[in-house]
Every structure is written in structure tokens, then in C-alpha cells.
A and B are shown apart, each in its own frame.
Chain A
Amino acid sequence: MHPAFSVVFFTTATGAGYGLLALLGVLGGLGFIPADFWLGLAGMALALGLIVAGLLSSTGHLGRPERAWRAFSQWRSSWLSREGVASVATFIPAGLFGIGWVFFGKSGGWVAAAGLLAAAGAVVTVCTTGMIYASLKPIAQWHSRYTLPAYLIFAAMTGSVLANALLQSFSAGSSAILALALLATLAGWVWKLATWRYNDQLEIPTTANTATGLAGGTVRSIEWPHTEENYLLKEMGFRIARKHSAKLRWITQALAFVVPIVLLILAFMAPWPLASMASALAAVSQFAGMLVERWLFFAEAKHTVTLYYGRA
């Protein structure tokens, strides 16, 4: 599948934004993170900023972005429509929580209720994003039990690493958040390795035989219907050389998992200004790593239409 940058950035940014929003909603609403104007403002601006930037970026690949409002109508059948509805609906409790927690400096009561609702909305939205990909049968690497948990784990991971960086920079860090960020990153690494292992051993029942209805033997493409690349090949026929794929997997692991883990352990041991810098660097490195991961998620996904073009 063609890795459109607007979609790669969209899923990465909203994942991190919703992860951070959910953590702030729960921890801020229940008073585990004390209400502080500047910390709250920075945190909510970062979370909502990532979400808004991601959603705006997602409209970048639309052919007719001026009609985007229509996408809220088919929530009964379409995960993409559900994602749109959930993402917009989440702004309501998130906005209320932000006002109560940041501007009124409150926690508990209605602020806690709004915070918990915002967290629930964030989780639902990330689930709908994951389901858009997990529901697509023609792409075996996405239509697997690994896809939905991956979106949730990566949102929790990037969100908690961001939350830790935020709290550390206001010298309000806690070892519990640091431990959460560390554990979530480890979980993300394990899940990504398991997903790659599963995809590499995948035996896809759909072949050139079932695609053409020609039973038995081999079906070899001897002539395409067109001489130049068409929409199908540009959009669905994206290919990545195996050697680049292997190299990019190492880059993903280094930036998204190994470097953040080392920096977070350093933050555990180092005194304040150093711990804060290490935490911020961990978040930046992980975000870059997750962009590479999401690019690979598309580039390594193979659509059944390529079978018609003799691409096994």
C-alpha cells in the first residue's frame, strides 16, 4: 500500500494526542496530577494540538476536502465515519475538562467526570482508527488480530512517554509515570516484534489461482492491460525492497523503542534538569520512530489486487 505522508502523520499524531489526552483526563481529573495552570495549558495544548494537526492532515489526501462533513453520516456501517464522529465527540468532554482543570484549577466532581469521558472518547477513537485497517480483508497484514491492539498499545505508549516528558519539564515528574512510560514502550516493542513475526510467516489463502478462477497449476501474468502504472498500481501496488524493509525495521526499533528505553532509564537515575532533557528526547525520538513504523505499516502491506499484476 502506498504510504501517503498525510495518513502516516495523521495516525501517528492522533495516536500520541489521544494517548496523552486519556492520561491527562484520568490522572488530572482524579487529582493524581495536581491542577497547575501552565502545566495544564501546555499538556492540553500538546494533546489537542496533535489531534487537530492529525485530523487536518488526514483531510490532505481527500479528493474533495470541502465535502469532509459528509463523513459523519455513515457511522452505522463505516469505521471511518465512526472515527470522524468519535474524534469530534471527544472534543466536548475534552474541552470541558480542559476548562475545569486548567482555567478553574479543579479536579474531582464534574471535572473528573469530563476527564474520564474524554479518556473514554480517546480510547474509542483510537479503536475506530485501528478498525479501519483491521477490517480490510484484501490486506492480510492489516486484517489480523495484531492490528487493533497495536493502535491501542502505541497510543498508550506515545501518550505516556509524552506525559512523562511534560511532567518532567515542569519538574512534576513521578516515578509511577516514568515506570508506565517505560513499561508501555517495552510492550510496544514486544507487540511490534510479534506482529512482524506473524506477518513474515503469513500464508495467504488468496492466490493468482483464486483471483482468476483458474484452478490448479500456475497462473503467470504475461501481459498487463495497460503499459504505464495506473491508479491501482500507484495506490495499492507500492513495493519496498526487502533490504530497505529490513533496514527500516532496525531504524524503527532504535528510534521508537531502544533509544526511549535507554533515555527513560537514564531519567530514573539522573537529577532533575538532566532527567527532563532525557524524557523530552525520548518523546521526540519515539515520535520519529513511530513515523517510520507507520510508513512501514503501509509499505509492507500487500493488497490482493497486485495478484492480477503478477506480483506474488
Chain B
Amino acid sequence: MTCLPAQTDKKLGLVIDLDTCVGCQACVTACKEWNTGGHMAPLTDTDPYGAHADGVWFNRVHSYEHTTELGGRTVNFPRSCLHCEQPACVTVCPTGASYKRASDGIVLVDEDKCIGCKLCSWACPYGAREFDTDVGVMKKCTLCVDRIYNHNLAEEDRVPACVAACPTSARHFGDLGDPTSAISQLVEERGGVALMPELGYKPTNRYLPPRARSERAAKVDAPALEPIKAEGGFLGWIDRMLSN
């Protein structure tokens, strides 16, 4: 069970555009809202209104300042499960609770088999898995497996909740195993990157780096205010009278 499929029919995943993400946290709250009633429900919160609020979230948005010789920029960075092709979180699982689906490559946890040993969270370099102390089992992003195949939803809504919620269309969902899919084309066009490729987990999700600075933009500087020139006629007479 925790042995990985040699290959998957599809490689469903997310592409996140770091150029357009504004860090509004809409994907974070939409994820929590859907999933606390979804496949991995509940996403327990402990002391939610107290001084030490904590809880299970599948999606967390960090903010960084990226400084290069060209200058600095703020980058908002959503972090969630990358549904790796070589997910060590699955192979380390002693019980068979963690598995990678051969059909679409989604990495899931069977909550009824999980013993809560937490080893999978140690094996994930990306911090994608969070332990639910209340239920005593590990939880993680399901790629909204209960939305994307859900025939009770309108076809355009069959995308992960985070993708549906994003107001700047910074999040894209699709089959990254199909080079002709729109999402693969987007990765190709924008030079999408994998995170920590040196560790060999082969993440499915891709991040689109912020676009290069452009000098092509039109000058929008307004001309500086200058003293009004003396005019002739009636207005000129008023100007002279008021200037006295």
C-alpha cells in the first residue's frame, strides 16, 4: 500500500503564480471552510479565540522579501502539499494509512488507519502535513478530491476550493502529466519551478516566479506644477487685481 505506483495516469496538481498572488489569504480560508467538512474533516482548532490559537490548516501563505541586485520585492508564497511523485511521507508510513493514488497521483491519508506516529510529517520537507492533536491522526491537503470529481457541483466548480476562491487567478489546477494541458503550457511559458528539487521528491505542483521588471511601461509622471502665466483679457485683469 505504501509502495508507490510506478506511474500515475494523471498528475493532478496546482500551479501557483507568485507574480500575481497578493497574499489576501482567501485560498487559506476557502480551504479551511471546505475541508473542515470534507474528506479529512474536521480541521480541528484548539483555543481558537484564546492567546494560543492553533489548528490544522492545509494551506499557509507566507510573505517574503526577495532582494537581488535589481532591488527588492515582496513575494507572497502559498505553501501546501505538492503531491510529489516520490513522496517519502507515503513510503515511511508503517500502517498503510498514507497512499498515492495510481489514477491521478493525489497523496491521501486514510484517517481510520493512521496511528499518529508523525513520521510522515518528519519525512515531508515542505511542511505539508499537520497533526490533529484532538483526533490523534495526521491530516493533509486532498487536492479537494471531494470537489474535483463531485457531480453535484456545476462543472466549473469542480476545482479545489483554493483555486475557486483566488481573486487574482494566481492558482491554477490541472493535469501536469499532460504536456498539452493548459496548466502544463502555462508552466512552460512562464518557466515554472519545483521546490527543493535537490531533495529528489519530484513535486507535481509548480510555482511561477515573479515576472522580470520591465522598462517598457509608459511614463505616468505628471508634470510639475508651475506658476500660472500672466494672461491677457478679463482673467488677466483679475489675476493682476488679486496679485496686488
Contacts and interface: CB of A to CB of B under 8 A. Distances in A.
| A and B part of one assembly | yes
B195 A220 contact: no
Interface stretch (A48-56, A57-65, A240-248): A57-65
Contacts of A309: 62
Nearest to A1: B122
Contacts of A230: 54-55, 57, 130
Interface string B1-32: 11110000000000000100000000010000
B91 interface: yes
A257 to B, nearest CB: 28
A74 B1 contact: yes
B181 to A, nearest CB: 21
Given A71-B94, A74-B1, A137-B200, A219 B64 contact: yes
Contacts of A305: 124-127
B32 to A, nearest CB: 12
A206 B196 contact: yes
Q: Interface residue tally of chain B, by bracket? A: 35 or more
Contact of B54 (A76, A221, A228): A228
B50 to A, nearest CB: 9
A303 interface: yes
A77 B2 contact: yes
Interface on chain A toward B: helix, strand, loop, or mixed SS? Answer: mixed
A64 B95 CA distance: 12
B41 interface: no
Q: Name the 6 nearest CB pairs between A and B, nearest first.
A: A63-B116, A63-B136, A217-B68, A305-B127, A225-B60, A81-B94
A137 B66 contact: no
Interface in A274-311: 303-305, 308-309
A208 to B, nearest CB: 8
Contacts of B125: 137-138, 206, 303-305
11 contacts: A67-B95, A68-B115, A77-B91, A136-B92, A138-B123, A210-B195, A210-B197, A212-B75, A225-B57, A236-B121, A236-B122
Interface residues of A, number: 59
Interface of B: 1-4, 18, 28, 51-57, 60-69, 74-75, 77, 79, 88, 90-97, 113-119, 121-127, 130-133, 135-138, 193-201, 207, 209-210
Contacts of A1: 122
Given A71-B117, A213-B18, A231 B56 contact: yes
A70 B122 contact: no
B196 to A, nearest CB: 5
A62 B117 contact: yes
Contacts of B62: 221, 223-225, 308-309
A236 B121 CA distance: 9
A235 B118 contact: yes
Given A213-B209, A230-B54, A63 B135 contact: yes
Nearest to B55: A230
Nearest to B23: A223
A79 interface: yes
A138 B124 contact: yes
A231 B77 CA distance: 19
A175 interface: no
A226 B90 CA distance: 27
Given A216-B68, A230-B55, A308-B62, 17 more contacts: A63-B115, A63-B116, A70-B96, A70-B113, A77-B3, A77-B91, A77-B92, A80-B92, A137-B123, A138-B199, A210-B198, A220-B67, A225-B60, A228-B52, A230-B54, A231-B131, A236-B122
Given A64-B116, A65-B115, A70-B115, A205 B198 contact: yes
Nearest to B136: A63
A214 B92 contact: no
B130 A214 contact: no
